[in-house]
Amino acid sequence: MSGRLWEGYCFHQLLCFVLILTLNLSFVLQCAYLEAKNCQIESKYLVVLRRLQESKGLDSSQQEMVKRLIEDSLQGDKKDGFKLNPVSEYNDYGFKTIPDYEVEDVWRWIVRTRTQVYRKRNPNRYQELRKHCEVSEHPASRQIRLDLHRTLTSNKHFSSPTSDAVQKLQRILLAFSWQNPNIGYCQGLNRLAAIALLVLKDEEDAFCLVAVVEIIMPQDYYSKTLTASQADQRVFRDFLAEKMPRLTAHFKEHSIDHSLITFNWFLVVFVESLVSDILLRVWDAFLYEGTKVIFRYALALFKYNEEDILKIQDNLEIYQYLRFFTKTISDGR
Amino acid sequence: MEAIWLYQFRMIVIGDSTVGKSCLIRRFTEGRFAQVSDPTVGVDFFSRLVEIEPGKRIKLQIWDTAGQERFRSITRAYYRNSVGGLLLFDITNRRSFQNVHEWLEEARSHVQPHQIVFVLVGHKCDLDGRRQVSRQEAEKLAGSYGMRYVETSARDAINVEKAFTELTRDIFELVKRGDITIQEGWEGVKSGFVPNVVHSSEEVLKSDRRCLC
């Protein structure tokens, strides 16, 4: 039985491999999803193995086999430099806690997994882009330079214009302008890159993360027309109307256009809207699952404060409340 | 019942990226100057009460906009509901002055059927040594559009009050004369006499005290 499981596991990797060989670059994204799926299957596989290990029905050779498979599987995780503690812990109150992990490890693992195929094809992409920046300036570089010194200014790493982080930020954004010349640079990308740098520290990884965000987001999210960003606001309005009809009616009564606030949440994935502890957890989910996470959290934020918002009866006061309330949320559970 | 404010005017602040729109508004509404301010993504808003004559107060809703061109598809939705506008350029940045006309065209084409009363603002006048646009030239341009021209500095708090207050007075005069009227479904001008919301007016008073500190 264990042998068959093992075959299944190999089959998935094989499938990925075949896909990589046969499909062109536009399918990289699907592959990345498949790989993510593969990881999900792997973790389920690990759970099954653990159960098998605990069960009494196996003879000694089978037990040995299961033990080895678990070790192999964990070894695989280690190889990627990322390991979640697979055993759930309980806190003092008896609640299951989220397994301990380093944000940095998770993000690096996601970035590397998502860009694996692409990096194999273009191993020196970032260095090439940087060289390209030296000989040729994208028209967007002017705006990039204007925004460098006004990015995450409250963060100590970005508070000085000469700091290492600001220099890295500049190189990442300039490289990105050539990576995706149609976007060039869109205000907001500076915040995404800054967050990527703060967590990953490594410049090239952070660059990949920005590219990944751009892949995760629908096409035209940061382009010159921002079409997809605006479309998302319409979609979100419909969701809000469906999930929170009272709040929607309240907004309508007081002529509140929530997209004034929520557009920002979506474009920069809550950077500078949520406190960092919660922000990083939201980003974990966002990087893993994609844009639906933004919709979910945006709805959750409104739901969490719905009663408070409903009490406010003045247009301006509602706007003022919406502008800052996300920063007052500190309970990430 | 005495009204806390006579009218509420909605104003929009536009101009190229980094001319200092957010800093000017913050100086006016919060009384402080931030050396750096994050680029505005989309639209942001502020408010303050202005006393144009003793006892006559106007509540200003001020909409801050992103300067980067691609955000215009977002910001243009906000022209329609504005009665006043501050069109900013940076006196040390000639290009931002050259783009004034384009900004005005952008506003005019999206404000129909209403109108916006604009003031042209030459910002960062504390940096006179790096000036690339002369006062005469800017005044001439403002004159050709039939606008006021004022030079401001958020850093040194020069003419910031003046820029907003004079614009408010001009709009107030137009409202008094009936050239601008309150209209259902238009947020540009709203009357402060709302008899059935005594409670929320009190709250407005409280928050305004905080603003004026």
Q: What is the ipTM of this complex?
A: 0.82
Give the sign of the dihedral formed by CA A151, CA A152, CA A155, CA A157.
negative
Q: Letter for the amino acid at B62?
A: I
Hey, are the CB atoms on B207 and A267 less than 8 Å from each other?
Answer: no
Out of A143, A255, A320, the one facing B68 most closely (by C-beta) is A143
d(CA A281, CA A101): 11
B interface test, pick of A151, A316, A323 with most B CB neighbours within 10 Å? A316
Domain A227-328 in CATH 1.10.472.80? The answer is yes
Which two tokens mark A282? 């939201």
Distance CA B34, CA B127 (A): 16
Check pLDDT > 50 for residue B96. yes
Domain ranges of chain A: 3-79, 103-216, 227-328
Q: How far is CA A320 from CA A203, A310, B34, B46, B148, in A?
A: 37, 14, 20, 8, 31
Q: Do A314 and B44 touch (CB under 8 A)?
A: no
Rounded to the nearest 10 degrees, how much is the dihedral formed by the CA atoms of B126, B132, B133, B135? Answer: 50
Q: What are phi and psi of A7, to 5 degrees?
A: -60, -45
* B11 touches B5 (CB < 8 A): no
Rounded-to-integer distance, Cα B81 and Cα A315, Å: 14
pLDDT at A8: 39
pTM confidence score: 0.77
Decide: helix, strand or coil at residue B205.
Answer: helix
* Residues of chain A contacting B39 with CB distance shorter than 8 Å: 147, 150-151, 187-188, 190
d(CA B107, CA B103): 6
Give the integer Cα–Cα distance in Å for A144 and B72. Answer: 18
Report chain A residues whose CB lies below 8 A from the CB of B44.
323
CA distance B186 to chain A (A): 10
Cβ–Cβ gap A319/B45 under 8 Å: yes
What amino acid is encoded at B154 in this protein? A
Asked if residues A187 and A142 have their Cβ atoms less than 8 Å apart, the reply is no
Q: What residues of chain A lie within 8 A of the CB of B40, using their CB?
A: 187
- Whether residue A287 contacts residue A210, with contact meaning beta carbons closer than 8 Å, is answered with no
| B120, pLDDT greater than 70 | yes
| Candidate CATH numbers 3.40.50.300, 1.10.8.270, 1.10.10.10, 3.40.50.150; the one for domain A103-216 | 1.10.8.270
Per-residue pLDDT of chain A (333 residues; tens, 9 = 90+): 443 433 333 444 433 433 333 333 334 455 556 666 666 676 777 777 777 777 777 788 888 888 887 777 666 544 455 555 555 567 677 766 666 678 888 888 888 888 888 888 888 889 999 999 989 889 999 999 999 989 998 888 988 888 999 999 999 999 999 988 889 999 999 999 999 999 998 898 899 888 888 788 998 899 999 999 999 999 999 999 999 999 999 999 998 999 999 999 999 999 999 998 899 989 999 998 899 999 999 999 999 999 999 999 998 899 999 999 999 988 755
For residue A13, give every residue at least 6 positions away whose Cβ sits within 8 Å of its Cβ, in sequence order, or none. Answer: A38
Q: Which residues contact A298 (CB under 8 A, 6 or more apart)?
A: A236, A262, A265, A266
Tell me whether residues A323 and B42 touch, CB distance under 8 A: no
